[in-house]
Structure 1
Amino acid sequence: MLIRQVPSAEAPLNLLLEADPSLVAIKRYLERSICHVATVEGEPVGTHVIQPLGEGVHELMNIAVAPAHQRKGIGARLLDHAIAAVREARARRLELGTGTFGHQLTFYQRAGFRVVAVERDYFLTHYDEPIYEHGIQHKDRLRLALDY
């Protein structure tokens, strides 16, 4: 697997939509972000997008793996790559937002991320359509951070 930086205009929107259902939001944050794409035999199988926020803080805006390639360790390698890229940039913190339940939360916590805030009703006010996972509607968003 090869992970390389691509211009934001070449970001694989179909993959990014796997993790964030709002094309409007994706396009908005892509403009100010750094996108990396993971490929296997030239096929895009995953991606991550990081946005520098300033003062040594970066935010992981999106990380996604194509459904056919999930459960193969690609997401973990992408997350490791994102963490290493932010460390290399000499940042002091990597933040992200995720739902209050589901496999994503455990995924980030295994990598050392800790909850730093709860944004009540985030998914209700920032998305036009309700987002469900395992029959449960996402309402609040957790802010997580990994400090270096």
Structure 2
Amino acid sequence: MEKFTFNKIHSGSAVPYELLLLADETVEAINTYISDCDIYLLNHQAQDIAVIALHPNNTTELEIKNMAVTESFRNQGIGSILINKAKEIAKENDYATLIAGTSDTGFQQIRFYEKNGFIKKGMRKDFFIENYPSPIYENGLQMRDMIILEFLIP
């Protein structure tokens, strides 16, 4: 098994925008939520290869605001490692649910979350239209709505 380390970055540390931008379109969009998040980095051989940003929405719900894996490490189970760490953090901190949002055009991301035990919970209508200055396209389709997925913490 390869050696990975998972660490929370300290407040005041540099925000890992290079990784976060793999999952969000602009620094401006990231800046709307990142200061209220706990940011964790997954490191392999002294290289940061993945990031997850967790935001407490309230006392019972923890949200994955951003999750990204560098391209050379994709499709190797790294995303599932991050999800499992987020589930552990949620459980340790007595959250009842872990939620994530992704575009209605993010078919691969929706399947990924469902594979990791999430179920579709709802939708934020026109999220990508209202929160980004220019249209964003994925899989040849304009991103409009955010699909909300939920995992109930056992």
- TM-score grouping bracket, smaller chain normalisation: over 0.9
Aligned-residue RMSD, C-alpha: 1.3
Give aligned-pair identity as a percent: 27
Q: Which secondary structure does the structure 1 equivalent of 2:7 belong to? A: strand
Q: Which runs of 4+ in 1 moved over 6 A?
A: none
- The structure 1 residue matched to 2:118, chosen from 86, 90, 113, is 113
CA contact 2:29–2:132 (8 Å) conserved in 1: no
* Count of residue correspondences: 148
Deviations for 1:59-108, whole angstroms, at most 9, x for unmatched residues? 11010001122111111111111111111111001112111232110010
> Are residue 32 (structure 1) and residue 22 (structure 2) matched?
no
| Structure richer in helix, relative to its length | 1
Q: Corresponding residue for 1:92?
A: 96
Residue number in structure 2 paired with 1:4: 7
Helix, strand or coil for the counterpart of 1:139?
A: coil
Tell me the equivalent position of 1:143.
148
One-letter amino acid of the counterpart of residue 15, structure 2: A
In 1, the alpha carbon distance for the partners of 2:50 and 2:119 equals: 24
3-state SS of the aligned residue for 2:95? coil
Q: Matches of 2:77 and 2:96 in 1, distance apart? A: 26
Show the counterpart of 1:53.
57
The CA deviation string for residues 28-71 of structure 1, in whole angstroms up to 9 with x for no partner, is 31111101000111100000000111131111101000112211
Unaligned runs of 5+ in 2: none
SS of the residue corresponding to residue 113 of structure 2 reads helix
Check conservation: 1:97, 1:143, Cα contact below 8 A.
Answer: yes
Task: Tell me if the contact between 1:11 and 1:37 (Cα under 8 Å) persists in the aligned partners.
Answer: no
Equivalent of 2:129 in 120, 124, 127: 124
Select the residue among 14, 21, 24 that pairs with 1:17. 21
User: When the two structures are superposed, what TM-score results if normalisation uses the length of structure 2?
Assistant: 0.90
Paired residue type of 1:130: P
